[in-house]
């Protein structure tokens, strides 16, 4: 077995040098890590699993990569090898991203972006890599299904000063402020996306389309008390029937509050806040504004 594993590693190196990533991964995956004959330490096993997963990810093969990352997950908790741990985290985030579990991926990317060390083992962490992780976190959050959880992550990113320097910041700002995104902005955002983030879904929408439509629908719910299917369709750039269907699903999944009147072909949006709370809020706003004016008068010495 010893000789076999040495040969496999050499072949894998050759494949890797020729960028035949999946073949290299298959070659390495043939090494028996659970052999009863050879005693292999956990660090070696972990390094192999992570290495294989990274090779599969080079070809965006999330399914095979996940198999080996799952194996690694049993080993990573006891590992002291910081470089391997970091590589494991990056692989896990990318697998979630490829599997379109965007919100989970965003949290993982964001976690990676906050690494403070610039030297881990013999590996140097450069700023670009961290910025890339942060930018991926923003992208995945924007692509995630609209709703309260996504809003919380958006708030975290929006308040993170590092984000204001990212190229994607203007989109993040609009999405955070729950503003309707227009087609030119969406097209510019699409330029930055990877292939799997623009993949077609069963209902003929791309991942991006659905994220943007849901986002714009939620934004519309902040602007309108009620809106007709036709106008909503025009606003979202889709047929009225599709608009109604997406709205009903978001309401059903409790990601948007409202009701649908199919006879009138109108959607009624409800505020997150109860009427009485809104009333109180208005009184608070009134008093605050009064206070501001009084402060202004005082500061001007009038």
Query: According to CB under 8 A, which one of 80, 119, 191, 225 is a site residue for other proteins?
Result: 225
What is the enclosing helix (H) or strand (E) of 162?
none
Among 19, 164, 259, 282, which residue interacts with other proteins (rule: CB under 8 A)? Answer: 282
* Closer Cβ to other proteins, 201 or 286, answer by number: 286
Closest to 136 measured CA to CA, from 82, 93, 89, 88: 93
Output the six-digit token pair for 154: 């958006």
Q: Quick one: which of 31, 8, 94, 101 has its CA closest to 59?
A: 94
Residue 180, both tokens: 């309707």
Which of these segments, 54-62, 77-85, 108-116, 228-236, binds other proteins (CB under 8 A)? Answer: 228-236
The residue written with tokens 């976690």 in the block is 111
The site string for other proteins over 153-192 (x = CB under 8 A, - otherwise) reads: --------------------------xx------------
Per CB under 8 A, does 228 bind other proteins? yes
| Backbone phi and psi for residue 258, each to the nearest 5 degrees, phi listed first | 170, -175
Q: How far is the CB of 247 from other proteins (least distance, A)?
A: 14
Which of 67, 55, 46 lies closest to 14, judged by CA?
A: 55
CB of 262 to other proteins, least distance (A): 14
284 near other proteins, rule: CB under 8 A:
no
When the beta carbons of 200 and 297 are compared against other proteins, the nearer one is: 297
Beta carbons within 10 angstroms of residue 49's beta carbon: 26
Contact segment (CB under 8 A) with other proteins among 6-14, 89-97, 191-199, 220-228 equals: 220-228
Residue 125 gets which letter from DSSP? -
Q: Are 42 and 50 in contact (CB under 8 A)?
A: no
- According to CB under 8 A, which residues from 234 to 253 bind other proteins? 234-235
Sites of contact with other proteins (CB under 8 A): 179-180, 223-228, 231, 234-235, 264, 266, 282, 285-286, 289-290, 292-293, 296-297, 300, 302
């Amino acid at each position: 077995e010893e000789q076999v594993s040495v040969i496999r590693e050499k072949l894998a190196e050759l494949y890797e040098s020729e960028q035949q990533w999946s073949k290299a991964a298959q070659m390495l995956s043939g090494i028996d890590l659970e052999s009863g004959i050879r005693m292999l330490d956990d660090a070696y096993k972990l390094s192999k699993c992570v290495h294989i997963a990274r090779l599969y990810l080079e070809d965006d093969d999330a399914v095979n990569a996940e198999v080996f990352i799952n194996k690694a997950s049993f080993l990573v908790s006891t590992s002291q090898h910081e470089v391997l741990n970091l590589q494991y985290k990056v692989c896990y985030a990318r697998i979630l991203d490829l599997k379109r579990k965007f919100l989970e991926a965003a949290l993982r990317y964001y976690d990676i972006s906050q690494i403070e060390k610039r030297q881990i083992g013999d590996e140097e962490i450069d700023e670009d890599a961290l910025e890339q992780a942060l930018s991926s976190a923003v992208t995945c959050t924007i692509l995630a299904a609209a709703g309260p959880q996504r809003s919380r992550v958006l708030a975290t990113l929006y308040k993170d000063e590092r984000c204001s320097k990212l190229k994607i910041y203007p989109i993040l700002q609009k999405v955070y402020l729950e503003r309707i995104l227009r087609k030119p902005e969406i097209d510019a955002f699409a330029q930055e996306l990877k292939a799997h983030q623009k993949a077609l879904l069963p209902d003929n929408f791309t991942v991006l389309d659905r994220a943007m439509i849901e986002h714009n629908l939620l934004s519309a719910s902040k602007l309108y008390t009620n809106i007709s299917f036709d106008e909503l369709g025009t606003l979202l750039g889709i047929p009225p029937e599709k608009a109604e269907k997406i709205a009903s699903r978001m309401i059903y999944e409790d990601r948007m509050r409202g009701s649908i009147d199919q006879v009138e072909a109108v959607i009624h949006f409800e505020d997150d806040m109860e009427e009485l709370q809104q009333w109180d809020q208005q009184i608070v706003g009134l008093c605050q504004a009064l206070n501001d004016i009084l402060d202004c008068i005082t500061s001007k010495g009038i």
